[in-house]
Amino acid sequence: MFITNKANARLTIIVRDGRGLVVDPIVGKWECTLVQFLENMKYKMDWFNLTEAKSGRLRLTCLWKSVLMDNVPEASGYGKKIKIFIKYSPYQI
Assigned domain for 85 exists: no
Domain count, the chain: 1
Please give the residue range of the domain that contains residue 42: 1-79
Assigned domain for 75 exists: yes
Assigned domain for 70 exists: yes
Do residues 55 and 28 touch, judged by C-beta distance below 8 A?
no
**pTM (2 decimals)?**
0.64
Assigned domain for 91 exists: no
Handedness of CA 71, 76, 80, 85 (dihedral sign): positive
Cα–Cα distance, 29 to 31 (Å, whole number): 7
Digits of tens for pLDDT over the chain (93 positions)?
Answer: 677 778 888 999 988 887 877 777 888 899 999 999 999 988 989 899 999 888 889 898 888 777 776 666 555 454 555 555 555 555 444
